[in-house]
Amino acid sequence: MDWIVRKSSALQDEVVLDVPGDKSISHRAVMLASIANGVSRIDGFLDGADTRATVNIMRQLGAKIIEHSRTSLEVHGVGLHGLRKPSADLDCGNAGTGMRLLAGLLCGQNFPSTLTGDASLSKRPMQRIIQPLQLMGAQIDSENEQRPPLKIQAVDALHGVSYRPAVASAQVKSAVLLAGLYANGTTRVDEIVPTRDYTEQLLREMGWPIEFGPGFAQVQGKAELRAVDINVPGDFSSAAFALVAAIISENTVTKIRNVGLAKARIGLFEALRLMGADVKIENQRDTFAGPVGDVVASSSKLHAIDLPTELVADMIDEIPIFCVAAARANGVTRIRGAAELRVKESDRIHAIASNLERMGVRVTQFDDGMDIEGGCELNAADLQAFDDHRIAMSLSVLAGQVEAVSQIRGVENVATSFPKFVETMSRLGYAIEVTA
C-alpha cells in the first residue's frame, strides 16, 4: 500500500483532535489483566495491529477477552498460574514490545511456547532479553544470531536476579520484571537511563509487591494481581505527528486531547521548545500512568539545535518526526547518542536520511545519529517507508508541506499504531490518498 500526499490546504484557526490509545500501556494492560484474579475493564485500548496481536495471543493462552467495542475490553483474568499451553505458535506481528514482554511472561511457565513475528520483527535483536532471562533460569532458543522465532521451553522454576541492561530499554526492563513475577525471591533492574515505567505503575496499581523509582525497579516473585479498571490515555507518540504538522504549517493552533505525558515519553516536547516552538500543556491531571493532559501547538518559526543527548531516550520513538521539524528549522540540527534507531522497526537513521535527501535536504549520517541542514527549499519525491509506521507518518507530515505530489511506498504498517492516521491528518488539512 502507498500514499499519495498533496500539499495541505489552509487550516482552520483551531483544530481539536483525539489520538489512539497508548501502545505501551495497551500491551501491558491486556497482558497483566489476563493473569490477574477477576475481571478487568480496559477503556481507550489501542485498536492497532500490534496490540490486537497481543489480545489474540492472550486468548490463545486461555484468557477470555470480550470486546465491548474496538477500544473497550473486558478481560477475565485466569490468575498468575492459569495460563495454558497454546495449540499453535504465538504471532506477535510487527510488535517488538509484544514479543519482548511476552517472552518475559512466558519463560517462567510450565509449558512451552513459540513466539513468531513478521519479516521486520524477525530481524530484530532478541539477545538483549534472552541473556537476562537465561540468567533467571529460562530456556529460550532463537534463530539466526538471537533473532525470532523464540522457542521457549517449559521450566519448573525461575530465580530472581539483579540486572543492569546495557541499553536503555523499557522492553528489556519489563521482560525481566514480568519473568520476576514467576521467580523465587527478588528481581531487580537498574537502568543506565530511566525509561518508561508503565509496567511498574500497572503492577503497583494491581497490588503486586514492587518498589521502583527513576532508574530502578524491584519485584518480589509469586504474589497475586488483582483485576483493575484501566483508562488508557492517548499515545504521545501518535500525537507527535499532529503536533509537528501544526508547528510547521501556517496560521494554525491545534489541540490534541487526553494525551499521556509521562516524563520518559515527552522528550520531543522539550526538544521542540528548544527549537522555538510554541507548544503548551493544558488541563493536566494525574493518573496511574503519570500526567495526562491536552497538548496545544501553534505555527512557529523553528531554529536548529544540538539535541541534548539526555533527551534521546525520552523521545526514542519521536526522532523520525523530530527530524521533520529539523528539516524545517533554520540551521544544522545535530542528533547523537541515538544508535538504538538502527534496530527499530527499520534502520531509522538510514530511513530518515535517505528520504530527506530525496526531498532535497542535506543529511550526514553517523552510527548514532545525523546532522540535518534545515530550512532549504523542499521538493516532492518518490519516498520509501521501509514498512515502518513511524517513518511513513513522519514523511507524510513533511511531504504535505510541498506544492507538488509525493508518493510514499510501503505504508501498511501504519495500522500497527495509528489505523485512522489519514482521517486524523485530514482534519489538519492534509490530503493523503491511499493507493493499492
Compute how many residues bind ligand S3P; rule: CB under 6 A. Answer: 10
Burial label, 434 (beta-carbon count in 10 A; 0-12, 13-18, 19+): exposed
Which entry of 118, 317, 371, 387 is annotated as an active-site residue? 317
> Interface with ligand S3P includes 24 (CB under 6 A)?
yes
> Interface with ligand S3P includes 238 (CB under 6 A)?
no
- 3-state DSSP assignment of residue 414: helix
- How far apart, in Å, are the Cα atoms of 240 and each of 132, 185, 246, 279? 33, 40, 10, 11
Minimum Å gap between C-beta 242 and ligand S3P is: 18
Interface map 280-319 toward ligand S3P (x if CB under 6 A)? ------------------------------------xx--
> Interface with ligand S3P includes 346 (CB under 6 A)?
no
Minimum Å gap between C-beta 200 and ligand S3P is: 11
CB nearer ligand S3P, residue 28 or residue 328: 28
Minimum Å gap between C-beta 171 and ligand S3P is: 3
For cell 522528550, the residue is 267
> Interface with ligand S3P includes 387 (CB under 6 A)?
no
Cell of 185: 525471591
Angle at 123 between CA 121 and CA 126, to 5 degrees: 80
Q: Is 317 a catalytic residue?
A: yes
Give residue 341's identity as a one-letter amino acid code: L
> Interface with ligand S3P includes 275 (CB under 6 A)?
no
Distance CA 365, CA 92 (A): 31
Cell of 139: 530456556
> Interface with ligand S3P includes 201 (CB under 6 A)?
no
CB nearer ligand S3P, residue 11 or residue 19: 19
Distance CA 336, CA 325 (A): 16
Stretch that binds ligand S3P, among 102-110, 169-177, 214-222, 240-248 (CB under 6 A): 169-177
Distance CA 143, CA 150 (A): 7
Residue from 120, 171, 201, 384 that binds ligand S3P (CB under 6 A)?
171
Cell of 388: 515502518
Alpha-carbon dihedral angle through residues 78, 84, 87, 88, given to the nearest 10 degrees: 80
Residue from 169, 258, 333, 424 that binds ligand S3P (CB under 6 A)?
169
Task: Report the 10 Å Cβ neighbour count for 10.
Answer: 9
**Do the Cβ atoms of 80 and 224 come closer than 8 Å?**
yes
Stretch that binds ligand S3P, among 165-173, 247-255, 367-375, 379-387 (CB under 6 A): 165-173
Distance CA 364, CA 379 (A): 19
Minimum Å gap between C-beta 23 and ligand S3P is: 7
Stretch that binds ligand S3P, among 41-49, 167-175, 225-233, 377-385 (CB under 6 A): 167-175
Instruction: Give the interface with ligand S3P as residue ranges (CB under 6 A).
Output: 24, 97, 169-171, 174, 196, 316-317, 340
Point out the residues that are catalytic. Answer: 317
